Each structure stands twice: as structure tokens, then as C-alpha cells.
Structure 1
Amino acid sequence: MFIGAQVSLYPMTSDFVDVILSGLDALTPYRQDLRIETDDMSTLMVGAPEPLLDAIRDLFAATARRPEHVTMHVTLSRGCPGEPDDPSCHCEALVRAQDLGLDARKALALEAVAAAPVTGVEIDLQFSLYVLGQDGHMDEIYGCIDFVKGSGTYLMSKNFCTRLRGDAGAVFETLRQAFLRFGPAEGHVTIDMTASANSPSKR
């Protein structure tokens, strides 16, 4: 299994270099568990989804604690057949998911969101889940939507995506559970996601 993300930060300020570099400092605790590579377009993170989503959450939360409007775009992928297996990406939740039905997976996802840490940072996020190469993929997507609507972070459904709002801890845990619990455990699943904080259009 190969699990990873391409992450790009977009601060809406002329001081964007300092905002991005200081935000990347939040990744320091995760460098022993993840492969992290930054270039002029994005930051690649490869590893198990527990530290992976924590790192993405902390990167955005650290940046969102500043006053400037900031957005972040993330492409998450697991099980891509074009990537080699990576032992660092092993995930017990995916292993166990092979024996669980959709209702059981939704229940576990809701428990995880309820136990999410509180960061004190309010964010907005929209995402789309793609279950690739599987018949009946819409059952998994509808199951995910049903979970999200009960998660406490659901804001609205939009064309092609679902909108979340709330504390960064609960919102990113909702995203992690959508990524882990829906779609085949050994299949190719991706998420396209955009997060926003401190938008002046909300004031």
C-alpha cells in the first residue's frame, strides 16, 4: 500500500514566504514518521494516515492562527496501483475494514470524530471522495456522505463536493475517516480537498 498527499498552502498576503515557512515548522514532529519533501509547488508527505492527517491538520492550524486569509489544497491518495508498496504506510484501520460492513465503518468513523482533539482554530473545508476502479462505488460514496452528515462538522452539500465547518481537529478527523473507512481497503481511493481560514468574505 502507498499512502500520501500533495499539499499546497496559499496565504493571501505579501508576506506569504514567512507564512509558508513558519507553517512548515509545524511538520517537524512528524518528520521521523513521514517522508516529507517540499519544492516550489507543494509538499509531498508519504506514510501512515494517522501521522499523515495529523501533520496536514497541524500545518494548516498553525498557519490559520495568524490573521491572514489562508487556503490549502490537498490531494490525498491510497492504494494507487502505479506506486510501489511502502511499509511506512501500513494502517491497521484499513486492514480491519476488510471484514466490516458499511454501517459498522460509519459507526467507527463517528466515534473517531467525537474523540478528536480541539485545536481552537475554526476552519472551512470542502472535499470530494473518489473510489476508483470498483463497481458499486456510489454505495461507498453515499455511505461516506451519510457519515459526514452525522459528524457534527457537516455544513452543506455542493455540486461535486461536500462542505465542512468547525474546529480543525474535528474537521480533519472527519476527512481522515472519509479517507480510511470508505472504498475498498486494498483499492485506490483519493480525496481532493480545499481548506480555508480567516476569509474576509465571512465577516
Structure 2
Amino acid sequence: MLLLISSDAIGQRIPQHRNVIEAAKAAGVKRIAYTSLLHADTTPIGLGAEHHATEAMIRESGLAYTLLRNSWYLENYAGAIAGALHAGAFVGSAGEGRISAATRADYADAAAVVLTSEGHAGKTYELAGDEAFTMADLAAEASRQTGRTLPYNNLPEAAYAKVLESIGLPPPAAAMLAQSDVGAAQGGLFDDGRQLSRLIGRPTTPWTAFVAGVLESL
């Protein structure tokens, strides 16, 4: 059994993942679990293309497989919370899109279940947090917990990419994150099937508790 965690080398994932799949076959691996993206076959998020292609390669390999289609990590928003405290507002391009994020620990627990128990071969799991939020919800919760007024300002995709570049992100990374926000606005990070909590046998970490933890760490 092999857990293939998707590479962070965006734009190079397909050849890298192909190398892993071929090596797994040569080593006699019987089943691959792959950390993909939520609704990778239909997502409006540009990152989905490499994930969908990897899923196809795994299916075509002849190996047994389990696809763990993860939504966003709550940890992705830690920097946004810190930035909002500094700048006085949240910014993004996610509009009113509902985001079903979960913690890395939640997703790791799901992978552990798949790796250590039976009945998961051939399964595709759409994994997402139990409770969805919008960026406006996130801003309101941070405001409530800090006692400050921290609004959410929705920006056009190009303008948000420029903001991300201004805080030090390389242009390709800034463009990717801005496009992902637009994808979130189109529903790309929302799922209410609760497959993650069922798989791990407990509720996912509440996003409000995550916000509290970030604020305590700052």
C-alpha cells in the first residue's frame, strides 16, 4: 500500500506523479491512495487539471487505488487571519463562495483509516469539513473573537493577484491563488456530503475553533 501525497511542484506534478506510479508498479505495490482535489473531475479551480490527470494515470496503471479528494486546508487561512490583523481587513476573490475546509490533521486521519483498514479499494472520497464558511463569515468570526472590525473586501482576480505579489508571492503563485479564490466563488471548495467525518468517525475540526487557535498563536 502506498500513500501518494500530491507534489507541491505545480506545473510539474504529472511527470513526477507518473514516476511514482511506475516505481510503485515495479516495486510490487498493490494499492495506491492519492491525495487529490475536491471534485477534481468537475472543479472550476485550475489546480484540478493536474489532479484529474493523475487520477487517470492511477486508474490506467492497473493498480488498485483509493482517491482522497481533499478540499482546502484550514491552515491555508492562517496567513489571511494574520494579514487581516495587520492590514485591518481580509481581501480575496472568493465572493460568497462557501468553503468546506478541514485541518491537515483531519485529512491525515482519513488517510490513516484508508491505509490501515479494508474496503476502500476503488473508492473515491470527496473529503471536506462538516461546516462551510464564506470569507465574509471568516472576517466576521475574526472580528468577533478579537473585538475589532475586520471586513472582507472582495477584489477582481487580477487585483487580488497583485495584492499577493505585493506581499512577496511570485507572480505564478499569486495568479494560482487568485484563480483558486475565483474557483471557490464558483463553488469549487464546497461539499456537504460529510464523507470526511464519516470516514474518521468523528466531526471535523470546527473552523471557528481553528480561528481561535490561530489568534492565540499570534
Q: Same fold (TM over 0.5)?
A: no
Q: Which has the larger radius of gyration?
A: 2
Q: Which one has the bigger strand percentage?
A: 1
